[in-house]
């Protein structure tokens, strides 16, 4: 899209991952004007995003084709940063910005990795597990590199398998959950036979790689980049030489845009009714922002949202029982990979917590709330806008992040000027920036 364009859609979908693709395809197949926006050059979200030499899996190929045939207008490379007035979103891309008008909106903004600070976590080559996978998909050569994979959640195994396939050597996978939690998880999978098959495939892909439970990284060391990590296992520490540390602690939903639009969020997740309708009429939400449950749940919720947003509630209701089953899997994930308290004690006084604004642990622990820390230290006010340090401080200090302010992503001055024009006409709408 060019500069200052305006488009109007009956249904607008934000996020082109599995949930957004399913919502947009289902809505467009019902004959309404649908637009689907994603800030990446192509759709697919975190799991299906293509890369160099990537082979689409059958599910992603199916949904890509279905979306293409549905007639939904694809708006790739555009990032929604603000809602200047009800029914209008402001998005920015390489060529400028545009206004997207909608009658009904589906938010499918996905999730990101959770990072927890420990000494050395800001060293080069210490990366999010999914982040390293994304870099390898984009061409980073990992062949022959030693990668310790650590943190929690099933993503660690998927990433380890992917990295090994691309030639990495994985000396160890460190999972903070205990063997007893993992064993309960394994036996509960009997209710999800397809997950057992995925698990068996992963087991084959990872054969020979040791997996240590109740194990976590306590420090990373190195000069110009990470050279080794120290892990804690059964009360003992051990140093493992490595070239990369791929480290992530399950996922945090992207709820900034839903919050900006006034959708209620509880325990970190967007509140929705049976039809994926948020507390804001005409705004629906699907996928990871409503609960971290994997690709199957994201697809089911996306279909329900797309059908409900076009008034096809009866068809949407046909998905309810499958969604209930997928929700139970999400709850199982949440129970199994709950973070252990020890992880909140790893940071030293000098460990950076907000790496955008260089705020160490010692400066934060003097405060009693996110707001106070933000006002006095600038924690959360850098380019990531608290997306990394917010969830970390929530875990470390039990702080609840404040309300979200526009723009929800850093934006160019000309885009900001566009919504300051709105400000002149509607002074009460916008309360300020970061």
Ligand X SMILES: Cc1cc2nc3c(=O)[nH]c(=O)nc-3n(C[C@H](O)[C@H](O)[C@H](O)COP(=O)(O)OP(=O)(O)OC[C@H]3O[C@@H](n4cnc5c(N)ncnc54)[C@H](O)[C@@H]3O)c2cc1C
> Which residues in this chain contact ligand X in the complex, by CB under 6 A?
14-20, 37-40, 45-47, 79-80, 108-113, 130, 155, 158, 251, 254, 257, 287-288, 294-295, 298
Least distance (Å) between residue 247 CB and ligand X: 12
Residue number with CB closer to ligand X (158 or 392): 158
Least distance (Å) between residue 302 CB and ligand X: 7
Least distance (Å) between residue 40 CB and ligand X: 5
Helix, strand, or coil (residue 420): helix
Q: Are strands 283-285 and 96-107 parallel, antiparallel or unpaired?
A: parallel
Dist. CA 235–CA 88, nearest whole Å: 55
Least distance (Å) between residue 377 CB and ligand X: 27
Dist. CA 303–CA 322, nearest whole Å: 12
Least distance (Å) between residue 237 CB and ligand X: 28
Residue number with CB closer to ligand X (48 or 399): 48
Residue number with CB closer to ligand X (171 or 199): 199
| Dihedral class, residue 358 (left if φ above 0, else alpha if ψ from -120 to 50, else beta) | left
DSSP-assigned states of every residue in 61-125: HHHHHHHHHHTPEEEETEEEEEEEETTEEEEEETTEEEEEEEEEEEE---EEE-----TTTTSTT
Residue number with CB closer to ligand X (55 or 425): 55
Q: How many CB atoms within 10 Å of residue 64?
A: 18
Least distance (Å) between residue 11 CB and ligand X: 16
Q: How many CB atoms within 10 Å of residue 242?
A: 24
Q: Are strands 147-152 and 173-175 parallel, antiparallel or unpaired?
A: parallel
For residues 203, 209, 346 and 401, what is the CA-based torsion angle, rounded to 10 degrees? -30
Dist. CA 311–CA 306, nearest whole Å: 9
Residue number with CB closer to ligand X (29 or 39): 39
Least distance (Å) between residue 91 CB and ligand X: 7
Query: Strand pairing partners for 150?
Result: 174, 247
Residue number with CB closer to ligand X (37 or 392): 37
User: Is the bond into 407 cis (omega within 30 degrees of 0)?
Assistant: yes
Residue number with CB closer to ligand X (287 or 386): 287
């Amino acid at each position: 899209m060019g500069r200052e364009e305006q488009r109007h859609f009956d249904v607008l979908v934000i996020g082109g991952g599995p949930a957004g693709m399913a919502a947009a395809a289902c809505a467009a197949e019902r004959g309404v004007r649908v637009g689907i926006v994603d800030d990446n050059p192509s759709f697919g979200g975190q799991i299906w995003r293509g890369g160099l030499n990537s082979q689409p899996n059958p599910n992603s190929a199916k949904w890509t084709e279905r979306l293409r045939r549905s007639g939904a207008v694809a708006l790739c490379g555009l990032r929604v940063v603000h809602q200047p007035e009800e029914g209008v979103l402001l998005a920015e891309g390489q060529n400028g910005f545009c206004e997207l008008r909608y009658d009904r909106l589906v938010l499918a903004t996905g999730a990101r990795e959770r990072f927890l600070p420990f000494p050395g976590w800001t060293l080069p080559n210490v990366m999010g597990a999914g982040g390293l996978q994304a870099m390898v998909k984009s061409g980073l050569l990992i062949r022959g590199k030693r990668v310790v994979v650590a943190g929690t959640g099933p993503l660690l195994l998927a990433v380890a398998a992917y990295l090994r396939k691309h030639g990495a050597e994985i000396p160890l996978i460190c999972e903070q959950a205990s063997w007893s939690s993992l064993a309960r998880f394994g036996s509960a999978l009997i209710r999800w036979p397809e997950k057992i098959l995925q698990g068996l495939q992963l087991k084959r892909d990872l054969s020979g790689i040791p997996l240590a439970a109740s194990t976590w990284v306590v420090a990373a060391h190195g000069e110009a980049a990470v050279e080794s990590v120290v892990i804690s296992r059964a009360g003992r520490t051990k140093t493992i030489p490595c070239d990369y540390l791929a480290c992530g602690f399950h996922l945090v939903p992207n709820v900034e845009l839903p919050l900006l639009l006034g959708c209620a969020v509880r325990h970190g997740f967007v509140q929705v009714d049976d039809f994926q309708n948020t507390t804001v009429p005409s705004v629906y939400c699907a996928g990871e922002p409503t609960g971290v449950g994997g690709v199957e749940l994201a697809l089911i919720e996306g279909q329900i949202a797309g059908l409900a947003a076009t008034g096809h509630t009866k068809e949407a209701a046909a998905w309810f029982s499958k969604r209930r089953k997928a929700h139970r899997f999400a709850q199982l994930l949440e129970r199994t990979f709950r973070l252990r308290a020890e992880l909140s004690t790893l940071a030293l006084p000098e460990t950076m917590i907000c790496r955008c604004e260089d705020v160490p642990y010692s400066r934060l622990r003097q405060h009693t709330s996110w707001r106070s820390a933000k006002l006095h230290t600038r924690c959360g006010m850098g380019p990531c806008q608290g997306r990394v340090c917010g969830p970390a401080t929530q875990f470390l200090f039990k702080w609840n992040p404040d309300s979200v302010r526009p723009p929800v992503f850093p934006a160019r001055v000309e885009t900001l000027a566009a919504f300051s024009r709105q400000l002149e006409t509607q002074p009460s709408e916008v309360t300020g920036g970061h």
